[in-house]
Amino acid sequence: MPDWGAIFLPSTPVLEIFVRGTVTFFALLLMLRVAGQRESGGLGITDVLLVVLVAEATAGGLTGESHSVADGVLLVATILLWSVAVDAIAYRWPRASRLLKAQPRALIDDGRLNARVMRREFMTREEVLSQLRLHGIQEIAQVERAYLEPNGMISVVRRDEGEVDEPAEPPSRG
């Protein structure tokens, strides 16, 4: 017969779980902000952080390594609370948003590469050109502006059309 109390009652004090979840969330958020936008791929940094932390928090409860399911549930609730709180703060206070959320960075301005942004994001000229080719652009001079977006993608405003292109779909490997 299972020990239902051991499964459903927290084995760690609730305040300790909350503090551990809070410290972990903000430490990882800071590290991911420092790592740069390019590293997040197609997801936003908080999306990546949320997926990783929720997966880790629930793993112990699912495999039985944790003393109770409640520990994992409380930890996930803490992580989700801070994720929503960070989004709400960034939405309500634009100054806080600049600290908490990644902002678009001008990668190309008036047909010229921004070397400072490229250094910050560890991007080479060849990598930028590769991304431009996905937009159907052969030369940097064809670009009015290009931005490294918060999700790691590059958006482009062409000189000739003045509108944002969608990147071409990669060819299927079949």
Where along the chain do its domains lie? 4-100, 105-158
Question: Which CATH architecture best describes the domain 105-158?
Answer: 2-Layer Sandwich (3.30)
| 37-96 confidence digits (pLDDT tens) | 554 455 666 677 777 777 777 676 544 455 666 777 787 888 888 888 988 998 999 898
Answer yes or no: are the C-beta atoms of 58 and 72 closer than 8 Å: yes
Query: 20 falls in which pLDDT band (50, 70, 90)?
Result: confident
Answer yes or no: are the C-beta atoms of 107 and 148 closer than 8 Å: yes
- pLDDT greater at residue 31 or residue 129: 129
Answer yes or no: are the C-beta atoms of 113 and 125 closer than 8 Å: yes
Listed residue (51, 61, 1, 62) closest to 28, CA to CA: 51
Euclidean distance between CA atoms 141 and 94, whole angstroms: 33
Phi-psi region of 122 (alpha: psi -120 to 50; beta: other; left: phi over 0): left
Residue 13 in tokens: 């004090």
Euclidean distance between CA atoms 62 and 134, whole angstroms: 42
Euclidean distance between CA atoms 151 and 120, whole angstroms: 16
